[in-house]
Structures are given as structure tokens and as C-alpha cells.
Structure 1
Amino acid sequence: MTRRRAVVTGASSGIGRATAVVLAREGFDVAIGYRVDADAAGRTAAEVGDAGGRAVTFTLDHTDPGGAASAVDRAADELGGVDVFVNNAGVNRRAAFLDETLDGWTRLLAVDLTGPFACAQAMARRLVAQGTGGRIVNVTSVHERIPIDGGSAYCAAKGGLLMLTRVMALELAPYGITVNAVAPGETATPMNGVPEHLDAGEIDRPMIPVGRPGRAAEVAALVGHLASEAAAYITGSTLHIDGGLALMGAIPNQAYAGRT
């Protein structure tokens, strides 16, 4: 059987690394996107290889959206095409609305919204040209819908990515391309200050109904499902994976120590 091909951004650690490995186990060769940590991307590539996939690594920086789009396109070339694109790279930063700077706002929206838009557009154009259909999964956050103190830019970006997902799904359905979003709650990853060796079950989070943050592997399993043939009839949806966090409504910083 011919292996399928996936491009995953932000795959040097955390959810992106776990997703790359899940997809490799499910029969994909994987292009691993990272910004600066080549060694960490190499570790992801090794895990993809151990899972049976061919791995390539590439750099991209969403502060240069056009350059990021070109980077994912070159990565797809190296794989020989693309069947699944996972739009995972992003940053997580808080700043009070009254203190947020225009530069800070602009940079966060570039990384969490404009860069993902440009990359998704490049991959969608390639999928349409291939004529084979495909899958696009955008990684958002529970804060695409739920406000959080200090989240003016972050929530705006993730909310924008939610609506972009829906428009993409609507417009790309005639080409056999499904587009969905995965919205994690707090996830125990290095980006959120959790060492890789520490399991989420060891972290107490009383504000989350299940009492702990999520594991990167749990989020990756959901992405893997959306990339599979079993999910062919799901499009334009956001699937929350948050331990019930979305049930709690708006979350003030002083009551919520975690990050998503």
C-alpha cells in the first residue's frame, strides 16, 4: 500500500509531536514543522521513524506568513504531495486588555491566525490541484469561545481560526476536503511549562471537572481520528478535548492556573 502524507506544523514537541507519531502509526509519512529547535524536531523524526513512517523536517515562522506558506508547500514537495495538513503551530501569551500593545497584538495574530491562514490556503490549493480530496485540521483552543482574563489577542486569534475553519469547510467540501478544528483545554506540554517526563495525571487542576490537564497523546488521538477515513462525514466542526473545562464558562486568571 502507498503510504499517505501528512504535514504537521509545530511538531517539535507537545501536541504536534504526538500527532506526528500517531499519524505515522496510522500509515503516514510526516513532514515535521518547527521554528528554532532542530534537535527537538529530530527527536520527533526519530519517533516517526520508530512508528514506521518516513520523516522530513522543515522550518517555518508564522511571523512571516508568506514564508510559512512557502515552507509547508516545499515540505509537501519533499513528501511527494499531501493528504492531511495539521495546522498546529502557535503561541500562548496573556496580556491585560488595557496593557496590550499594538505590536504584541499584531505579532500574536500573525502567529495564531494569519500564519495558519496562509499555510492552510497553500495546502488547500495543493489538495485541490491533486484532485484527491484530503483533510485539514486546525488546532484552536477552548478559548476560541470562552474568554479568559488577559486573552484579548489570544481569544481573538483562536476565535478567528474557528470561523476560518467553518468557511474553509464550506468552500472546500465540493473538492472532497474536510476541515475541522480540535480545541484543547489545558494540555500538559513543554509550551505550557510542563516537562516532558511529567504525566498529566500528576497535576492537580480543581477548576477542570476531571481534575487534571490533558495529555498531548489524547489530543493527538482526536486529530488522528479526524484524519482517518472513519471521519469522512465530519466537516466544519470543532471538537473540544478539555476534560469538561468548557462547562465552566468564563475563567478568571486567579482561579485558573493552567494554560491551553
Structure 2
Amino acid sequence: MTAADTAGRTPTAAVVTGADSGIGRAVAVRLAAQGMDVGITWHTDEVGAERTAAEVRGHGRRAVVARLDLTDLPKAADVIDSMADDLGRIDVLVNNAGTGTSTPFLDLTLDTVREVLDVDLVGPFLCSQRAARRMVAQGGGGRIVNVTSVHEHQPRVGAAPYCAAKGGLGLLTQVMALELAEHGITVNAVAPGEIATPMTGQEDQDVRRTPRPGVPVGRPGDAREVAAVIAFLASEEASYVTGASWAVDGGMLRMGPMAGSHLEDDAWRRP
């Protein structure tokens, strides 16, 4: 069987992890607007997850909500199967849930490293495995999108386990793309730069009024700008796109993430 034999079904059901706020919420709502029922997971903010569910239902789509603790592995991945059962199938998985640290390398504890790696790398691996098995069994292909970071590609001081996990998730994305293509399943990464979310203390801010001299477009990103790229990758229009990492960073990677977040003026713009 070839990939062409398994592709061609319009996605109708998606699971978005960490969809209680920020990028995850924006993705869940965007996919609902595209006609998908959505499974929404949360870790600490159940109220936020229910708000997301209300927005999904506002688009006339079904929403199911469940808690997901990616430090509780491998059991946590059971949520993917239970949501697929509730939704009737799973066509799209967006691995968005994540965590990080701002700790100097010499001060890191093993517990912290293991927690970040579990949440940001091992958890997405196991969730993707569950989703892909379902997609293969039900037929019709599928879409997996891993939310990494610009730090999939370039390092940041104080973020050793985060960078290691996101870099690993980027390469995992490529291996998955190779192996799952024959089943009509595409796998891509989306690598956000600084996005106005609760993680950066900026949710619901007008990003146009927040100057970022070190970012070429001069501002942070809006979660909906990331969601638009993920929604494309989750659609039939992206059927020939797999194994890629899509930076959504306002050009930050061209500057280097450290410069992108730390430059205080626009002097770099002049030769």
C-alpha cells in the first residue's frame, strides 16, 4: 500500500494538548472554525480548558475536555485513546503541551531535566504513537503537528533541557514523517518565537504595541498567527508537506534567539 492509497479524507476530529490557553486555545478554535470536533487537554487550568471548549462549541463543533499530566508516563498517553473514542476517530494531533526552565546549566537538578524531557519530548512521542496507531487502523491518513520552538534550531542560555527536548522533538518529527508517510500521515513541526501567551506573561495583549527591537518585524507574535500555520498543516491543502519545521518567529532565527529577545534598540538595522 502506498501513501496515495491512504490519503484523501477531510479531517473531522482533532486533539490539541495544552489547549487551555495561548497557542493551544487558538489552535483548537481555529480547527473548530475549519469544521473539526476537538479534544482539549489541560494540566492545571480546567477553567481555561472549559473556556476553550465553549469557543469550539460556538463554532457548532463538539468539544471534549480531559486532564493530561505528561509527567505521569506512560499512563498519560491513555488520554489520546479515550478522546479518540469520545470523538469517534482522530484525524489530527497537535502536540502543544510543554514546559521549560530558566536555570543555569551548572545548577540543574536531574529531576528538573527529567520533567522537561518527559513533558516536551517523551510525552509527545507517546501521544503521537497512540494517535498514529489509531490513524493507521481507521484509514484515511492523518496529520501530526509538533509545536517545538525556535530553540529547536538555536540555543538559549538557561534552557538546556528545554533546548535538548525541542531539538529532539524536531528530529523525532523528521523520523516520524519518514515512517508514517506510507500510511498517508504527515508530520511537521511548528517552531514559534516569542508569542504573546501566559508563558510569556502577555496573553491578550496587543502585540503591535509591544516593541521588540531585536525581532525583524519589531514585535512579538500573536497566538492566532501560530494557529493559522498549524491549521494549514492540519488541512488537506498541506497533503504534500511533511518532515518540515515551520518557524513562526517574525524573523527571530535570522537574528539568533538571544539577540532577538535582548537587543534594546534598532541600531542593527543600519549598516
The correspondence for 1:76, drawn from 50, 62, 84, is: 84
Q: Within 2, Cα distance between the matches of 1:204 and 1:249?
A: 17
**AA partner of residue 55 (structure 2):** E
Partner of 1:95: 103
Deviations 1:178-198, CA, capped at 9 Å, x for gaps: 00000000000012111x331
Alignment-mate amino acid for residue 68 of structure 2: L
Give the alignment's Cα RMSD to 1 decimal.
1.7
Aligned to 1:11: 19
Q: Which runs of 5+ in 2 are unaligned?
A: 1-9, 265-271
207, 212, 220: which one aligns with 2:227 = 220
Deviations along 1:57-104, one digit per CA (max 9) or x if unpaired, are: 011111012122101110111000101110100013221111111111
Write out aligned runs for 1:29-108 (5 A). Answer: 29-108=37-116
**Given that residues 20 and 45 in structure 2 are in contact (C-alpha distance below 8 angstroms), is that contact kept between their aligned partners in structure 1?**
yes
What is the match of residue 233 of structure 1? 240
CA change 1:3–1:224 in 2 (3 A) is closer
Question: Match of 1:63, SS?
Answer: coil
Q: Find the aligned partners of 2:122 and 2:66 in 1 and give their Cα distance.
A: 19
Q: Distance in 1 between matches of 2:133 and 2:39?
A: 18
1:27 Cα deviation after fit: 0.6
The answer to which of 9-18 and 92-101 deviates more is: 92-101
Q: Is the 8 A contact 1:149 1:253 kept in 2?
A: no
8 Å contact 1:140–1:162 — kept in the other structure? Answer: yes
* Map 1:1-260 → 2, pairs under 5 A: 4-194=12-202, 196-249=203-256, 251=258, 255=262
The amino acid that maps onto 1:237 is A
| TM-score of the aligned structures, taking structure 2 as reference length | 0.91
Q: Give me the whole-angstrom Cα distance separating, in 2, the residues matched to 1:253 and 1:201.
A: 16
Amino acid at match of 1:26: Q
Give the deviation of 1:3 after TM superposition. Answer: 7.2
Larger radius of gyration: 2
CA offset at residue 53 of structure 1? 1.2
Alpha-carbon distance change, 3 to 162 in structure 1, aligned in 2, over 3 angstroms: closer
Aligned counterparts of 2:187 and 2:44: Cα–Cα separation in 1: 28
Aligned to 2:219, what secondary structure does the other structure show? coil
Specify the SS of the correspondent of 2:221.
coil
Distance across 1 between alignment mates of 2:48 and 2:257: 35
Aligned-pair distance for 1:50?
Answer: 1.0
Structure 2 residue identity aligned to 1:78: D
Q: How many residues align?
A: 256
Q: Distance in 1 between matches of 2:14 and 2:261?
A: 39
**Residue of structure 1 equivalent to 2:268:** none
Tell me the SS of whatever aligns to 1:138: strand
Task: Give the C-alpha shift of residue 175 in structure 1.
Answer: 0.3
Give, in whole Å, the separation in 2 of the partners of 1:256 and 1:151.
19
Give the match's secondary structure for 2:229. helix
Letter in 2 for 1:207: G
